[in-house]
Structure 1
């Protein structure tokens, strides 16, 4: 599989993996927006989501589902942001395709500011929507 020795995601080791499949891995974001923030990446080094194969797309989608179940059980969030930044203009800072799965919690201030869309959009508690 493609590997870039200069890529921080390609250097991840099995001890870092929260979830692993044949084609992709999930690991904790080192600068999380919130508790439980995961990154889901193809094992093969590709810069953009537009470059993944159909099999990788399916594996990434399945891993998002599997990761959500894990985070639901472990952290019980109130909602999620699922985000892909593609290109520097869109806020991508690590050029290995990755999906952010960000648990969201009512009335919690986010820990990180930057390029994650919607990170400031968590409303105050609205019980009618819980």
Structure 2
């Protein structure tokens, strides 16, 4: 299984603030202490093998991501009781993929948060984000 020595998702146990919450044969569901103070429960699903983007996942990694997503939801529902979820992949720097290892964001959402009701579509529908000349 290929890994990258410099990648924080290839060896999550090396970061004492990053926790493997659930895992299966090919993927982890990770939570990082530094990401829990804004929207509690936030985590990511990552393949154990170093895959640069979601487009590089194997069929087994896709199946295992699906399995972990449902397990993560059951865990998050029981522990945090969110009112909804925002789910997503970022691919490439222009999409804000700052770690070049595929990672699927699982973001619990709460009705009392300031951006409640503003999911992925809200951000790309803003007129201020229109490409110049388009």
TM range, smaller chain: 0.7 to 0.9
**1:10 Cα deviation from its structure 2 partner:** 1.2
**1:11 Cα deviation from its structure 2 partner:** 2.2
**1:119 Cα deviation from its structure 2 partner:** 8.4
What is the aligned length?
A: 115
Contact 1:81/1:118 (CA < 8 Å) preserved in 2?
no
**1:117 Cα deviation from its structure 2 partner:** 3.8
**Structure number with larger C-alpha Rg:** 2
1:18 counterpart SS class: strand
Contact 1:34/1:103 (CA < 8 Å) preserved in 2?
yes
Summarize the Cα distance change of 1:37–1:119 in structure 2 as closer, same or farther, 3 Å threshold: farther
Runs of 4 or more consecutive aligned structure 1 residues displaced over 2 Å after TM superposition:
29-33, 116-120
2:72 counterpart SS class: helix
**1:104 Cα deviation from its structure 2 partner:** 0.3
2:105 is matched with 100
Which ranges of structure 1 fall in alignment gaps of 5 or more residues? 111-115, 121-130
Which ranges of structure 2 fall in alignment gaps of 5 or more residues? 124-134
State the TM-score, normalizing by the size of structure 2. Answer: 0.78
Larger relative contact order (Cα-Cα within 8 Å, sequence gap ≥ 6)? 1
